[in-house]
Amino acid sequence: MATFPQLRLRRLRATEAIRSMVSETRLSPSDLIYPLFVCHGRDVRTPIEPMPGCYQLSLDLLLSEITEAADLGIRSVLLFGIPASKDDVGSEAYDTSGIIQEALRAIKQAVPQVCLITDVCLCEYTDHGHCGIVQGDRVDNDATLELLARTAVSHAEAGADVVAPSAMMDGQVAAIRTALDNSGHTETPIMAYAAKYASAFYGPFRVAAESSPQSGDRLGYQMDPANWRMALREVEQDIREGADIVMVKPALAYLDVITRVRERFDHPVAAYNVSGEYSMLKAAAANGWLDEPRATLEVLTAIKRAGADLILTYHAKDAARWLKGEQ
């Protein structure tokens, strides 16, 4: 059959119209989930130093940020809370008047069309900075489950449309599903941080969320970056426990994992383009070393091409603008 010179693959690259006709992957603002940090107070907009363009926002400013994102075509946000105070059991995580619960009620009223996803974890709320209850030098898996379940139910009660457990405790999805069902929230989906790696790329987030472990690390519960088969077992476990959407996190250094999860399972797959991935690109762009719009859209397209249906990204607003051809 045809080979060069009859066969010329460049024919399909000749014009923008042809290229767009044969484009295999299309990124749209509705693929993007925009993570946001909410703090107590009024008129607070605290820049997050390693994440240029990201802020800890008080509720009043958060509402305008979400409205702006919605106007750009972003359909959902992921909320992280900065509590007023921390303790060893992360009390504000499941307090009905906690920062996330207040935020959910206010956003539901002001911008009801936006899908509100909440991160369900204890690390922002504990004084030791671990994702669960600490006993000695270990995070106690089973003792943590009840608190995660309580947190998820309080989010659903306050208006969360989706809850996203990220603590990497075994059994957390089942515990949350049961608690949601028992409290009448049978329709609330769970987006499980299923394959979440112990990654250096969360560094900037921990500045943003003030959630660094005060001692030790997360290697006892988050995954070893060397493993992909284990990722499939994590995803399988979460699906068995009732996850509706499964997530791979981080995204860029784990594109192979995204592809394998996509091939093995039929659930929607989300990928988290994490803080460190954002910081790297922003830093290079700030130095003039990368063309920021092109590099950003290339990265997000690659994550989608790898198999992600949904992408959690701090670039969401910029990307939505650039997708429309705006500056």
Point out the residues that are catalytic: 196, 249
Q: List the structure tokens of 93.
A: 């995580």
The DSSP string of 40-93 is SSSS-EEE-TTSTT-EEEEHHHHHHHHHHHHHTT--EEEEEEE-S--BTT-GGG
Residue whose Cβ sits closest to ligand PBG:
205
Torsion on CA atoms 71, 73, 78, 84, rounded to nearest 10: -10
Residue with Cβ nearer ligand PBG (184 or 220): 220
* Choices 69-77, 178-186, 200-208, 299-307; region in contact with ligand PBG by CB under 6 A: 200-208
Rounded least distance, CB 131 to ligand PBG, Å: 5
Rounded least distance, CB 67 to ligand PBG, Å: 23
Q: List the structure tokens of 141.
A: 């898996």
Count of residues interacting with ligand PBG (CB under 6 A): 10
Angle CA 141–186–38, to nearest 5: 65
Residue with Cβ nearer ligand PBG (57 or 112): 57
The DSSP string of 165-184 is E-S--TTHHHHHHHHHHHTT
Per-position x/- string for 210-229, each x denoting binding to ligand PBG as judged by CB under 6 A, each - no binding? --------------------
Residue with Cβ nearer ligand PBG (107 or 123): 123
Residue with Cβ nearer ligand PBG (19 or 32): 32
Q: What is the footprint of ligand PBG within residues 262-281 (CB under 6 A)?
A: 274-275
Burial of 217 (0-12, 13-18, 19+ CB in 10 A): exposed
Rounded least distance, CB 275 to ligand PBG, Å: 3
Per-position x/- string for 111-150, each x denoting binding to ligand PBG as judged by CB under 6 A, each - no binding? --------x-x-x-------x-------------------
As a residue count, the chain comes to 327
* Choices 37-45, 184-192, 199-207, 259-267; region in contact with ligand PBG by CB under 6 A: 199-207
Q: Supply the DSSP symbol for 266.
A: -
Q: List the structure tokens of 248.
A: 């791979």
Residue with Cβ nearer ligand PBG (206 or 305): 206
Contact 45, 61 (CB under 8 A): yes
Residue with Cβ nearer ligand PBG (203 or 268): 203
* Choices 137-145, 201-209, 254-262, 287-295; region in contact with ligand PBG by CB under 6 A: 201-209
Q: Can residue 92 be called a binding residue for ligand PBG (CB under 6 A)?
A: no
Contact 231, 223 (CB under 8 A): yes
Q: What are the respective helix, strand and coil percentages of the chain, to the nearest 5?
A: 45, 20, 35
Cα distances (Å, whole numbers) of residue 75 to 68, 137, 156, 184: 11, 41, 18, 25
Q: Supply the DSSP symbol for 180.
A: H
Q: What is the footprint of ligand PBG within residues 152-181 (CB under 6 A)?
A: 166
- Can you give the binding site for ligand PBG, defined by CB under 6 A? 119, 121, 123, 131, 166, 202, 205-206, 274-275
